[in-house]
Structure 1
């Protein structure tokens, strides 16, 4: 028993020795509103996994909860003066104070925002970040350009009446691509609806995106979902659900399963600032903290929950402070800085898996596009505000300036790549548009192993109705 304890202590000490500090976080791009008062501890990028031994599992699963001593162990000393200073409450000892002191409703200073690149794409002196290779950096940039181009073309297709709905990620390309680059394909992604870039990074083709938006026979959802509701088992990307925040507790459940199976992987879930107002967000954070689940919560705080500004959502300092309230390690990051996002997620993943803990990342960004094709954001926010973010703080332009300064990209490469991507996308749309739709029978499948009698009757009646009114139904939908 003593030997096992010594081995466990040695492993704990080894793990502690491998963990360093990210260092001083650089000034926020929102310097006029955000102050500086926290540092963010992260594991060293060179930390090695300790393996899957039982001793290692003890280290990983060691509780970070407050500890308490059972009351019966203190009976012999209950007359000591110390007993009048401490309450031995379940969950941890609580000190007494003769002062009536309320916890402040908000800190005097706002949580700092971690960034690496300034507005001109130059490294900030003293920046502490995870290094990226030329190959990785160029792929990150080209995928951001591809995502940006795809949004432009599909948005135009919707406006032409060729698809029924679309939703862009304009202004949030760095969050999409940089987070995906820092993850492993084994990590399970639970998206909201503004993360197609994660799928793009993982190998989802432009044709597959087009097939889903047009709902043809090659759409993995068999035409039963709205456009942009992507999903792919092959890419560990769970199907998008329109219902706000339902994916957050699902991610925690998946993370707990990964923990029980001792997988070297985590779950990652994305949501907007509006999602933090839902009960699912709060239940998920508490569940993840208590169960010590390896899950990364990524909040895209883009300023607007459709037409509701963050000023009408938060009395507190945004989403980042809510993590601390639930016992979840948290960081605020410049969401328009691809290097900062990549570094933060890279560190978060390592901590989530090696320490078996949840991590919350609040990425400050701005939704340049309308909420969706069903929205006109100029009705509730000034046009000059949108244009300023689009031109002055575009994450794609900022990252391009950095890779160009490294000699990894050029104007010629830019022109050639953008032209190629546009050609590929237009071809994908033409192909997807001409393919026939899934058969009517697919409406009734994939719920029951054996369809009940009422569904069988509905299918029969629908097919009869289509035959009687062929002129009212599209000819490319097989009956």
Structure 2
């Protein structure tokens, strides 16, 4: 192959122009808000269901925006925004059944919303006042996973257990395009395929693994990797909530029916920074972002609702009020969160306790006690509680 022909095939930086509209992308709602059909992934939703999806995305985006502001004000230590990925998360989350089990990363705020996890519980973790904030088994929604890609192994193992129990529930594991390069993900694919585990691997390809574009992660579309492990993969327009809902529903039915795992690649875009410690202007250009803004998932669905006369001004006004109420609850709730007991860091480490943790707990208690009643100051609440035991 000549140098010239090789260069002609080299992908462009960022991936947006390279693969945004390639054949094989499942789409049911165009960026212009036009409804299209797909032979394999059909869906028929009521006006109420369509308005519900729109409501979910609007409220999730408002919550996300409030969290960013709170972090900028020093109320949160960090925040990972989902801006631009609302359709990928709401569509896939609404495709699940209550008995399905979800393993998220640290950005699945929209999926958490669909599982009725209180947004304040998410914020408590990023404020540093709890270990996660919710019981995973209450909503079948696992705690956020910071270690990149490891949750895919957790999901594969859990799904293997579901299969052995003879249940017909499905498991879904979320990860990003950057995580697809992790060895844990490859191992999860292998185990899930070999053991026919009922797990959907849901990759939100938002084009950027922090500052690394997708072409630095894969030389082929991510969904095509599934074939090498022996299970099907599909790429869906991640900014089309209808397509994501239809594809994820089909994928979950596939795995529940005993046909083994499936990979869904939601082709979307991270409109904001990787986290609030990141500056995306250092590695991507405004033109790329503007191109993806024209594919905004919320604007797309609103255009469709308006064209079809499926929502009126009363609906939008009521939703705006609901958004304001949610935002106020989030602001007040975060600022009113009490500081945790310092000794709580030793809780929930081992199910049956551990000698080393017990030793460290005792040492830390002694350290805290050294500050009690010094220079005439009253004992701390922690010390008073310890003395009362």
Counterpart position of 1:436: 338
Q: CA deviation at 1:422?
A: 2.2
Whole-angstrom distance in 1 between the partners of 2:176 and 2:291:
21
Q: Which has the higher contact order (CA 8 A, sep 6+)?
A: 2
> Match for 1:311 among 215, 218, 232?
215
Counterpart position of 1:232: 136
Instruction: Say if 2:155 and 2:173, in contact at 8 Å, map to a contact too.
Output: yes
Secondary structure, in 3 states, of the residue corresponding to 2:275?
Answer: coil
Q: CA deviation at 1:385?
A: 1.8
> Match for 1:163 among 65, 76, 99?
76
Secondary structure, in 3 states, of the residue corresponding to 1:298?
Answer: strand
> Match for 2:367 among 435, 455, 462?
462
Q: In 2 relative to 1, CA 422–466 (structure 1 residues): closer, same or farther, beyond 3 Å? A: farther
Counterpart position of 2:192: 288
1:196 aligns to 2:113 (yes or no): no
- Within-5 A mapping of 1:287-366: 287-315=191-219, 317-366=220-269
Instruction: Say if 1:274 and 1:313, in contact at 8 Å, map to a contact too.
Output: yes
1:119 aligns to 2:47 (yes or no): no
- For the pair shown, the structure with the greater C-alpha radius of gyration is 1
Q: CA deviation at 1:202?
A: 1.6
> Match for 1:424 among 319, 326, 343?
326
How many residues align structurally? 362
Q: CA deviation at 1:351?
A: 1.0
Counterpart position of 2:272: 369
Counterpart position of 1:219: none
Q: CA deviation at 1:436?
A: 1.7
Q: CA deviation at 1:451?
A: 5.1
Q: CA offsets, 1:396-430, max 9 Å, x none?
A: 11112223333322244223312322222223321
Point out the more displaced range, 202-211 or 170-179. 202-211
> Match for 2:349 among 447, 450, 455?
447
Q: CA deviation at 1:477?
A: 7.6
Secondary structure, in 3 states, of the residue corresponding to 2:372?
Answer: helix
Whole-angstrom distance in 2 between the partners of 1:359 and 1:348:
6
Instruction: Say if 2:117 and 2:134, in contact at 8 Å, map to a contact too.
Output: no
Q: CA deviation at 1:446?
A: 1.8
- Larger helix proportion, structure 1 or 2? 2
Q: CA offsets, 1:34-53, max 9 Å, x none?
A: 654xxxxxxxxxxxxxxxxx
Whole-angstrom distance in 1 between the partners of 2:277 and 2:370:
31
Secondary structure, in 3 states, of the residue corresponding to 1:467?
Answer: coil
Task: Provide structure 1 residue ranges, at least 5 long, that are not aligned to the other structure.
Answer: 1-28, 37-111, 217-222
Whole-angstrom distance in 1 between the partners of 2:268 and 2:74:
30
Q: In 2 relative to 1, CA 443–408 (structure 1 residues): closer, same or farther, beyond 3 Å? A: same
Q: CA offsets, 1:237-263, max 9 Å, x none?
A: 111121100000110111111111111
Point out the more displaced range, 118-127 or 392-401. 118-127
Whole-angstrom distance in 1 between the partners of 2:291 and 2:382:
45
Whole-angstrom distance in 1 between the partners of 2:362 and 2:117:
37
CA RMSD of aligned residues (A): 2.5
Whole-angstrom distance in 1 between the partners of 2:349 and 2:320:
42
Q: In 2 relative to 1, CA 182–464 (structure 1 residues): closer, same or farther, beyond 3 Å? A: same
Instruction: Say if 2:200 and 2:263, in contact at 8 Å, map to a contact too.
Output: yes
Q: CA deviation at 1:142?
A: 0.6
Q: In 2 relative to 1, CA 292–401 (structure 1 residues): closer, same or farther, beyond 3 Å? A: same
Q: In 2 relative to 1, CA 231–308 (structure 1 residues): closer, same or farther, beyond 3 Å? A: farther
> Match for 1:414 among 309, 316, 320?
316
Q: In 2 relative to 1, CA 34–139 (structure 1 residues): closer, same or farther, beyond 3 Å? A: closer
Q: CA deviation at 1:121?
A: 1.2
> Match for 1:182 among 64, 76, 95?
95
Counterpart position of 1:272: 176
Q: In 2 relative to 1, CA 419–469 (structure 1 residues): closer, same or farther, beyond 3 Å? A: farther
Instruction: Say if 1:292 and 1:357, in contact at 8 Å, map to a contact too.
Output: yes
Q: In 2 relative to 1, CA 277–468 (structure 1 residues): closer, same or farther, beyond 3 Å? A: farther
Instruction: Say if 1:168 and 1:369, in contact at 8 Å, map to a contact too.
Output: yes
In the TM superposition, structure 1's runs of 4+ consecutive aligned residues that sit over 6 Å from their partners are 29-33, 475-479
Secondary structure, in 3 states, of the residue corresponding to 1:233?
Answer: helix
Q: CA deviation at 1:132?
A: 1.7
Task: Provide structure 2 residue ranges, at least 5 long, that are not aligned to the other structure.
Answer: 1-15
TM-score, normalization by structure 1 = 0.70
Whole-angstrom distance in 1 between the partners of 2:298 and 2:114:
15
Instruction: Say if 1:444 and 1:459, in contact at 8 Å, map to a contact too.
Output: no
Q: CA deviation at 1:191?
A: 0.6
TM-score, normalization by structure 2 = 0.86
- Within-5 A mapping of 1:142-161: 142-161=55-74
